[in-house]
Amino acid sequence: MAGTDVPQTITLAKGLNQGLRAAMEADRKVLVMGEDVGRLGGVFRITDGLQKDFGEQRVFDTPLGESGIIGTAVGLAVRGYRPVCEIQFDGFVFPGFDQIVSQLAKLHYRSQGKLPMPVVVRIPHGGGIGAVEHHSESPESYFAHTPGLKVVACANPVDAYWMIQQAIACDDPVIFFEPKRRYWDKAPLDLAMPPLPLFRSRVLRTGTTATVVTYGPTVRTVLDAATVAEQDGHTLEVIDLRTLSPLDLVPVFDSVRRTGRLICVSEAPSEVSLTSEVAARVSQECFYSLAAPVLRVTGFDTPYPPAKCEEDYLPDLDRVLDAVDRVLAY
Amino acid sequence: MPSRNPPSSHSSPVPVAGPVGLPDSLVGTAMDIDGSHTPEQVIAGLRATSEGEDLVQLLTPEGQRVSHPQFELEISPAELQSLYRDMVLVRRADREAKALQRQGELGLWAPLLGQEAAQIGAGRAMTPQDMAFPSYREHGVAWCRGVDPTEIFGIFRGVDQGSWDPIGTGFQLYTIVIPNQCLHATGYAMGQRLDGKIGDAQNAEATICFFGDGATSQGDVHEGFVWAAVYDAPVVFFCQNNQWAISASLDRQTRVPLYQRARGYGFPGIRVDGNDVLATLAVTRWALRECRTGNGPILIEACTYRMDAHTTSDDPTRYQVAGELEEWKLKDPLERLRVHLVREGLAESEFFDGLAAEADELAVRLRNYCISMPAPGPERIFSKVYAEPTPTVDAERDDYLAYHASFTDVGGAS
Ligand SMILES: Cc1ncc(C[n+]2csc(CCOP(=O)(O)OP(=O)(O)O)c2C)c(N)n1
Ligand SMILES: [Mg+2]
């Protein structure tokens, strides 16, 4: 699947770029579309060079309109294409929300399988880049709440490379979240290592003190917290959810049965969210193993604040460690 | 009612626009859509701004006053100087903002460079009771409404999300999601009509809505046009066609010149030279007056050019068309009025010297204010989420502030 020119150490952005390239090479029906994805290569350069190499028929700048982008992708999918749509920033997906929720998510069901919707909607999400409004949001829960959609979040360069290819190969619509403040994180990519299937969560670090579940941009935050906690003699078991719908919680249940304690971390507001879902499912499945209530470390239930407040808004290492202290206090 | 077929001639007599009647001179096509044009010709037609009789111009790029059969402008030397002063000062504020961004004092900046005439012309056409709905680049209109540049800087420094009083200034907060404000402007204008504020031009009110060329592709513009037409809303849709939507040139958005779209919705569309502050002022003044007397809505397409990057995060060298910027520099909005003032003896050198000093003072004031702008405390996160506070947010605030205080108590001096 992979091109021969995949570099050894790649950024997350490069992983996505190379993954898109590999998917386009593998299947002529794959199209890349969105605002500024062509000559500019996207505002984050994720589609850099793709138009040059695959032509303006397969990689194209659309007019400025998210409903148009998603709606035409639905039509292209009916026609047998596999569109990959770029939404420029999290906060700009909402003009296209109707097409996603009302059509993209439902056509397979309504047609009882006659109309698969192999559409990928790429959305850079999360804060921490000092941006103006609508550029730092975490809208994953809206999509995970919508039956018919699959929702994933990549957190590191290697996953970015493989997950985007797997999402494109998937016959269901996939909302694909990219942690924008981690676009420049680097990691070595070993193509000999087989990738994990797309809809699987992964234990990133084993531990016995508590289980910490997270996804997307806060994966690194939690790993950093685990490193610090270790100095205090606490070993945290860190799980990257990777797939937000369907959830793959078996590794989480297994872990909590061993640690007895769970902390869920996410940048999104906490009410009626992925972290509430994980907490509910764990309390149902692991009730007798829990030594403490499930704690959550999240963004607040407010609109995303002005950028100068985001350090306080976003879950950081200290807030994760504070939750570790609190969960151990029981 | 407008005729169904586009007029084939541009030479019809100058008409008066009725509520839905379309003056032929305003809807004549720069190129007829008969399928006989190559894509290159279509693009050339879209780009043509300094030629074509559809473009309303009162001051040429060379600084020459020209007349227009419909749009006359009586203007005193003092008023000309005042418009020039506005443009110089907003340009200076814009350049200072860009420098502050480069020095890390602002997180981002969306430059207005090149669009001063469009914004000052439109802003100065408004009366105090009119209402403006901006996008995110209308720093020049903000200036005209008495919103201080420091309040605009606050957004881009990340200390707030719009600190001015939208009602008091008649300048709604910036809108970043493109172009949600087109419907807000229409709704506000519907309210002006409901309140009986349409009629006698002296005390009547109108609304003006700003958006870009790229914005015209969004459904909200379509719906704004439809609603405004159906409710005869007193709203001027002011589209600054600066030729680019980040990296997308105008042919990504349309086949016809944008002002011609108005015809399909049943109201007049006018193309004005957006680098000509006099033409923009005259056309916008006329359009607002039409709206106040019940003849809205009206679409104005101001042809201008984004002379800087989309924002400070953008790198236009990746998509810029060679020579385009140089071409537009010859049509600079400030330079043509300066030349006019000098050549016609309408301003002395003391005026220009004084203005240069004033611009310097403004830059210093903005810089000093900007770098000393206090960062909001964590309580800002939880402030005014609702008109009627909720237990969830109150509890989160109390918990977080207590947690935050535990650090300051322990940390001491650092
Ligand atoms: C709904 C939405 N989609 C995408 C964006 C990202 N974006 C910001 S500005 C811009 C281009 C706007 O072009 P135009 O309307 O011509 O206005 P200009 O910036 O040229 O003034 C885009 C795509 C946005 N702000 N809102
Ligand atoms: Mg534009």
Instruction: Kindly indicate the confidence band of residue A181, based on its pLDDT and cuts at 50, 70 and 90.
Output: very high
How many angstroms separate the CA atoms of A15 and A46, rounded? 9
**Mean pLDDT of the region A127-132:** 97
Asked if residue B46 belongs to a domain, the reply is no
Residue range A8-189 forms a domain whose CATH class is alpha beta
Q: Are residues B120 and B168 in the same domain?
A: yes
Asked if residue B195 belongs to a domain, the reply is yes
Q: Are residues B293 and B397 in the same domain?
A: no
- Tokens 């901006």, residue? B134
E-assigned strands of A215-305? 236-240, 243-245, 262-269, 295-299
Asked if residue B32 belongs to a domain, the reply is no
Q: Are residues B229 and B287 in the same domain?
A: yes
Q: Which residues contact A39 (CB under 8 A, 6 or more apart)?
A: A51, A61, B247, B318, B319
Cα separations in angstroms, A280 against A92, A121, A144: 30, 28, 15
Type of residue at B344:
E
Burial of B142 (0-12, 13-18, 19+ CB in 10 A): buried
pLDDT at site A110: 98
Does the CB of B215 have a partner CB in chain A at under 8 Å?
A: yes
Q: Is the CB of A305 under 6 A from ligand 1?
A: no
Instruction: Kindly indicate the confidence band of residue B24, based on its pLDDT and cuts at 50, 70 and 90.
Output: very low
Whether B26 shows a pLDDT value over 60: the answer reads no
Instruction: Kindly indicate the confidence band of residue B193, based on its pLDDT and cuts at 50, 70 and 90.
Output: very high
Instruction: Kindly indicate the confidence band of residue B52, based on its pLDDT and cuts at 50, 70 and 90.
Output: low
Q: Are residues B364 and B383 in the same domain?
A: no
pLDDT at site B92: 98
**Mean pLDDT of the region A13-31:** 98
Whether B304 shows a pLDDT value over 60: the answer reads yes
Whether B138 shows a pLDDT value over 80: the answer reads yes
A135 labelled catalytic: yes
Whether A122 shows a pLDDT value over 90: the answer reads yes
Instruction: Kindly indicate the confidence band of residue B35, based on its pLDDT and cuts at 50, 70 and 90.
Output: very low
B331 in Cβ contact with B61 (< 8 Å):
yes
Instruction: Kindly indicate the confidence band of residue B408, based on its pLDDT and cuts at 50, 70 and 90.
Output: confident
Candidates A175, A178, A115, A170; CA nearest to A146 is A175
Whether A105 shows a pLDDT value over 60: the answer reads yes
Residues B380, B381, B386, B389, CA torsion sign: negative
How many angstroms separate the CA atoms of A206 and A37, rounded? 40
Q: What is the pLDDT of residues A270-288, one digit of tens each?
A: 999 999 999 999 999 999 9
What ipTM was predicted for this assembly? 0.95
The residue of B173, B216, B220, B396 whose CB has the most chain A CBs within 10 angstroms, and thus the best one to mutate to test that interface, is: B396
SS (HEC) of B341-402: HHHCCCCCHHHHHHHHHHHHHHHHHHHHHHHCCCCCCHHHHHCCCCCCCCHHHHHHHHHHHH
pLDDT at site B18: 33
Candidates A63, A64, A54; CA nearest to A31 is A54
Q: What is the pLDDT of residues B352-375, one digit of tens each?
A: 999 999 999 999 999 999 999 999
A82 in Cβ contact with A27 (< 8 Å):
yes
What percentage of residues in chain A have a pLDDT greater than 90?
97
Q: Are residues B387 and B303 in the same domain?
A: no
Whether B176 shows a pLDDT value over 90: the answer reads yes
pLDDT at site B5: 38
Q: What is the domain extent for residue B198?
A: 52-371
Whether B254 shows a pLDDT value over 90: the answer reads yes
Whether B1 shows a pLDDT value over 80: the answer reads no
Residue A306 main-chain phi, psi, to 5 deg: -55, 150
A279 in Cβ contact with A212 (< 8 Å):
no
How many angstroms separate the CA atoms of B157 and A107, rounded? 44
Asked if residue B43 belongs to a domain, the reply is no
Both tokens assigned to B235: 């709203």
Both tokens assigned to A208: 């016995």
**Mean pLDDT of the region B230-235:** 98
A232 in Cβ contact with A185 (< 8 Å):
no
Domain count, chain B: 2
Q: Is the CB of B174 under 6 A from ligand 1?
A: no
Instruction: Kindly indicate the confidence band of residue B22, based on its pLDDT and cuts at 50, 70 and 90.
Output: very low
All structural domains of chain A with their residue ranges: 8-189, 202-328
Whether A319 shows a pLDDT value over 50: the answer reads yes
Residue range A202-328 forms a domain whose CATH class is alpha beta
pLDDT at site B10: 36
Q: What is the pLDDT of residues B73-95, one digit of tens each?
A: 999 999 999 999 999 999 999 99
* b/e map B44-65, b = 16+ CB within 10 Å: ebbbbbbebebbbbbbbbebee
* b/e map A4-25, b = 16+ CB within 10 Å: eebeeebbbbbbbbbbbbbbbe
Whether B410 shows a pLDDT value over 70: the answer reads no
A residues 311-330 near B, CB within 8 Å?
312-313, 318-319, 322
Whether A79 shows a pLDDT value over 80: the answer reads yes
Hey, do A8-189 and A202-328 end up sharing a CATH topology, with the first three levels equal? Answer: yes
Q: What is the mean pLDDT of chain B?
A: 89
* b/e map B332-370, b = 16+ CB within 10 Å: bbbebbbbbbeeeebbeeebbeebeeebeebbeebbeeb
Whether B413 shows a pLDDT value over 60: the answer reads no
Question: Which atom of ligand 1 is closest in space to residue B212's alpha carbon?
Answer: 15
Q: Verify whether the Cβ–Cβ distance B382 to A302 is below 8 Å.
A: yes
The CATH number of whichever domain residue B180 belongs to comes to 3.40.50.970
B317: nearest CA in chain A?
A40
Q: What is the pLDDT of residues A261-272, one digit of tens each?
A: 999 999 999 999
Q: Are residues B183 and B289 in the same domain?
A: yes
Q: Are residues B70 and B180 in the same domain?
A: yes
What percentage of residues in chain B have a pLDDT greater than 70?
86
Residues of B in contact with A302 (CB under 8 A): 381-382, 385, 393, 396
Candidates B310, B336, B338, B340; catalytic one: B310
Q: What is the pLDDT of residues B140-169, one digit of tens each?
A: 999 999 999 999 999 999 999 999 999 999
Asked if residue B22 belongs to a domain, the reply is no
pLDDT at site B174: 98
Both tokens assigned to B316: 């236009």
Whether B187 shows a pLDDT value over 90: the answer reads yes
